[in-house]
């Protein structure tokens, strides 16, 4: 079975631009979470969606937004990019349940120049 997939794998943008990152969860998984991992740090939680509703939001500015589609795929949008937004953006999916493991995709590496 395919794991979590993300696109694109790499992206280069300039300050002030907008970017959209995409994630397809493992088949049967209805929950998708987004994390940002800056070099040398652990991943930091951005959003979680379950059944197309936002279930959690981390401490990120309103420039960050996301949505989940009826097929449970998800998009993360970042507006007005800053140099500090350069990071690996990870998507994780899971079924939903108290002890259910989250499975991570390979990530999208965003560089803001």
Q: What residue ranges bind other proteins (CB under 8 A)?
A: 31, 33, 35, 40-45, 47-48, 55-56, 58, 90, 92, 94-102, 104-107
From residue 102, alpha-carbon distances to 4, 16, 17, 26, 46 in Å are 10, 32, 30, 10, 14
Phi (first) and psi of residue 25, to 5 degrees: -75, 170
Minimum distance of other proteins from residue 20's CB (angstroms) = 20
Minimum distance of other proteins from residue 16's CB (angstroms) = 27
Which of 24, 33 has the CB closer to other proteins?
33
Minimum distance of other proteins from residue 66's CB (angstroms) = 12
Which of 16, 96 has the CB closer to other proteins?
96
Minimum distance of other proteins from residue 96's CB (angstroms) = 6
CB–CB of 3/103 below 8 Å?
Answer: yes
Which residues lie below 8 Å from residue 18, measured CB to CB, with a gap of 6+?
Answer: 77, 78, 79, 80, 81
């Amino acid at each position: 079975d395919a794991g979590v997939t993300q696109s694109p794998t790499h992206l280069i943008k300039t300050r002030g631009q907008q970017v959209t990152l995409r994630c397809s969860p493992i088949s049967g998984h209805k929950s998708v979470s987004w994390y940002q991992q800056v070099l040398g740090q652990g991943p930091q939680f951005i959003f979680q969606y379950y059944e197309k509703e936002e279930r959690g939001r981390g401490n990120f500015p309103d420039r960050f937004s996301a949505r989940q589609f009826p097929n449970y795929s998800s998009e993360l949008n970042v507006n007005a990019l800053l140099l500090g937004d350069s990071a690996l953006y990870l998507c994780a999916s899971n079924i939903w349940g108290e002890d259910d493991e989250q499975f991570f995709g390979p990530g999208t590496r965003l560089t803001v120049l």
